[in-house]
Amino acid sequence: MTVIAAAQRWLLGLMLACYLLAGVFPAPGEMLRGLTLQIPAGGVTLTFPMVLLAVMLFNAGLGVRVADLRVVMSQPVRLVLGIAANALLPLLVVPLIALGLRTWPDPAEAEGLVVGLMLVLAMPIAGGAASWGQNAGGNVPLVVAMVIGSTLLSPLTVPLGMHLAGHLVGPYGVGPLDDTTKVDMIARTGAGAFALVSVVLPCLTGILTRTALGEDRARRTLPTVKAVNLANILLLCYINAAGALGQALAQPDPDLMVLALGLSGAVCCLTFSCGRWLSRWTRCDNPTGSPSPSPLA
């Protein structure tokens, strides 16, 4: 078994190890999160995680043939359902969670969880979904099309979700969320530039690069692409977890940690179950079917 094949087989365990490493040694991850690159044209600032995401999506586009995209677009039901599920699920789930959290003894913690869950769920389908699909032999063209489609809609869906979160928190929230304007500001921060620079352009560039290379040369690059994507997934897990787990473990709050893990785990299971149900309903549950359109993929 090659190193890449072993890493693919044990990817979930490796990701959990990255989370553990981030909790114990968060400092290197925080340093990497702080690295930025200023692009003179347009004044866009790229962070290191944004660059990793762009590389991941470029590689995903490199694994897609234009002919396969034509097939996806000629049968748009799966594509539309996946994007719609990603957009509508948080609008249905988070209000129910907010209702259940009204009995939580600390209102500031409850409001933080509501806004955090909405922020995660309202985001476009994650670029990691394309890498997971590539590594698992899934329908990569369909996943890439979902990533691009949900990202293009994000300037509408993210503010809508966060505006709803603001209403759930209420105009007299406590702690850092003491008014809805702060929640609305989160929704507006860099959404359009981020979507264009980190998601759409890398995907399209990867697709065009494959067309320029030709099928034979592009096929020979796929083992390298998979290796880079595996490293990207693990590094992104570590960097992103370093910011959250490092702070959580520095000032531990056991009951809040258990609640956050329970809610996020339940929401993850729900989104993946929804993706699996849509896959079966649209008869896409064969070995080349699409992975879940979960934004948490």
- Cα distance between residue 55 and residue 224, in whole Å: 13
Residue 294 lies in a domain: no
- Cα distance between residue 127 and residue 203, in whole Å: 10
Quote the mean pLDDT of the chain.
77
- At position 259, the amino acid (one-letter code) is L
Structure tokens at 146: 């979902």
Residue 286 lies in a domain: no
103, 104, 106, 109: CA torsion to nearest 10: -130
pLDDT digits (tens, 9 = 90+) for 200-219: 788 888 888 988 888 888 88
Residue 241 lies in a domain: yes
**Structure-model confidence comparison of residues 25 and 136, the more confident one:** 25
Residue 122 lies in a domain: yes
In this prediction, residue 244 carries a pLDDT of: 75
Residues of the domain holding 179? 3-281
User: What one-character-per-residue DSSP string does 229-255 give?
Assistant: HHHHHHHHHHHHHHHHHHHHHHS--HH
Region class of 175: left (phi > 0), else alpha (psi between -120 and 50), else beta: left
Residues 194, 243, 241: CA angle, nearest 5 degrees: 90
Q: Are 171 and 180 spatial neighbours (Cβ–Cβ below 8 Å)?
A: yes
Long-range contacts of 256-260 (CB under 8 A, 24+ apart): 256/106, 256/109, 259/104, 259/109, 259/113, 260/113, 260/116
Residue 287 lies in a domain: no
Residue 296 lies in a domain: no
Range name among 57-66, 102-111, 190-199 with the lowest pLDDT average: 190-199
- Within 8 A by CB and 6+ apart from 284, the residues are 78, 139, 142, 278, 290
Structure tokens at 240: 């992103």
Q: Are 247 and 99 spatial neighbours (Cβ–Cβ below 8 Å)?
A: no
Number of domains present in the structure of the chain: 1
In this prediction, residue 289 carries a pLDDT of: 41
CA atoms within 13 A on the CB side of 84: 7
Give residue 10's pLDDT band: very low, low, confident or very high (50, 70, 90): confident
The residues that bridge with 96 in the sheet, in sequence order, are: none
Q: Is the pLDDT of residue 191 over 60?
A: no
Q: How many CB atoms lie within 10 A of CB 56?
A: 29
- Beta pairing class for 44-47 and 36-39: antiparallel
Give residue 148's pLDDT band: very low, low, confident or very high (50, 70, 90): confident
- Cα distance between residue 199 and residue 52, in whole Å: 11
Residue 164 lies in a domain: yes
- Cα distance between residue 163 and residue 165, in whole Å: 5
184-195 mean pLDDT: 56
Residue 292 lies in a domain: no
**Structure-model confidence comparison of residues 88 and 37, the more confident one:** 88
Kindly report the CATH number assigned to the domain that includes residue 8. Answer: 1.20.1530.20
In this prediction, residue 188 carries a pLDDT of: 56
Largest CA distance in the chain: 61
